[in-house]
Amino acid sequence: MSESVSVGAHPGGAALGRRRDPARRPAAGPGARAAHARKLGVRTIALGYLALLLAAPLVMIFYRTFEHGLIPVWNAITAPNAVHAFWLSIEIVAIVVPLNTVFGIGMALLLERGHPRGRALLGMLVDLPFAISPVVVGLALVLVYGKTGWFGDWLAAHGIQVIFSVPGMVIATAVVSLPFVARETVPVLRELGTDAEQAAATLGASRWQTLLRITLPAIRWAVVYGVVLTTARALGEFGAVSIVSGRIEGQTQTLPLYVQDRFENFDVTGAYTAAVVLALLALATLLAMNLLARRSASRTPV
Amino acid sequence: MAIEVRNVTKRFGDFVALDDVCIGVADGALTALLGPSGSGKSTLLRIIGGLETPDSGTVAIGGRDVTDTPARMRDVGFVFQHYAPFKHMTVKDNVAFGLTVRRRPKAEIRERVTELLDLVRLEGLADRYPAQLSGGQLQRMALARALAVQPKVLLLDEPFGALDAQVRAELREWLRRLHDEIHVTTIFVTHDQEEAMDVAEQIVVMNLGRIEQAGTPNELYESPRNEFVMSFVGPVNRLDDMSFMRPHDIQILPSNDGEGTEALIERVVHLGFEVRVELKLEDGREIWAQVTRERAHELELHEGQILAVRLPPPRVFTPSA
Going along chain B from its start, the domains and CATH numbers come out as 3-232 (3.40.50.300), 245-316 (2.40.50.100)
- Cβ contact B154:B76 at 8 Å: yes
Whether the predicted pLDDT of A99 surpasses 70? yes
Cβ–Cβ of B149/A204 closer than 8 Å? yes
pLDDT in tens, B250-264: 988 877 677 788 889
Q: How far apart are the CA of A183 and the nearest CA of chain B, in angstroms? A: 22
Distances (CA, A) of A53 to A39, A48, A58, A286, B255: 21, 8, 9, 19, 90
Tell me: pLDDT of A30 over 90.
no
**How do residues B129-179 score in pLDDT, each as one tens digit?**
999 999 889 999 999 999 999 999 999 999 888 788 888 888 888 888 889
Tell me the residue type at B203: I
Q: Which CATH class is domain A70-299?
A: mainly alpha
pLDDT at residue A3, as a whole number: 37
Judged by a CB distance cut-off of 8 A, whether residue A196 touches chain B is: yes
Q: Is the pLDDT of residue A279 over 70?
A: yes
Handedness of CA A66, A68, A71, A72 (dihedral sign): negative
Where are the domains positioned within chain A?
18-65, 70-299
Averaged pLDDT, A94-99: 97
Chain A contacts of B66, Cβ < 8 Å? Answer: none
Q: Identify any residues that bridge with B34 across adjacent strands, giving them in sequence order.
A: B190, B205
How far apart, in whole angstroms, are the C-alpha atoms of residue A254 and residue B148?
56
The residue-averaged pLDDT of B235-249 equals: 88
Which is more confidently placed, A15 or B9? B9
Which pLDDT belongs to residue A299? 56
Contact: B86, A199; criterion CB under 8 Å:
yes
Report the SS3 class of residue B312: coil
- pLDDT (0 to 100) of residue A28: 54
In this predicted model, what pLDDT tens digit does every residue of B2-36 receive, in sequence order? 999 999 999 999 999 999 999 999 999 999 999 99
Q: Rounded distance, CA B207 to CA A231, Å?
A: 55
Q: Rounded mean pLDDT of chain A? A: 85
Contact B41, B189 (CB under 8 A): yes
pLDDT level of residue A238 (50, 70, 90 thresholds): very high
Show residues of chain B in contact with A195, CB under 8 Å. 80, 82, 84
CB contact under 8 Å between B132 and A213, yes or no, is no
- In sequence order, the 6+-apart residues with CB closer than 8 A to the CB of B139 are B79, B83, B159, B160, B163, B171
Could you give the ipTM of this predicted complex? Answer: 0.84
Best of A191, A198, A202 to substitute, by most chain B Cβ atoms within 10 angstroms, is A202
Chain A residue with the nearest C-alpha to that of B96: A203
Cβ–Cβ contact A296 with B under 8 A: no
- pLDDT tens-digit readout, A36-66: 888 888 999 999 998 889 888 888 888 888 8
Per DSSP (E only), the strands in B64-201 are 64-65, 76-79, 153-157, 185-190
pTM attached to this predicted model:
0.79
What is the band of A22 on the pLDDT scale with cuts at 50, 70, 90? very low
**Closest Cβ–Cβ partner in A203, A218, A302 for B98:** A203
- Of all residues in chain B, the percent with pLDDT exceeding 70 is 99
Q: Is the pLDDT of residue A280 over 80?
A: yes
Q: What is the percentage of chain B residues whose pLDDT exceeds 90?
A: 66
Query: Per residue in A189-209, pLDDT tens?
Result: 999 999 999 999 999 999 999
Residue A300: its pLDDT value, please? 54
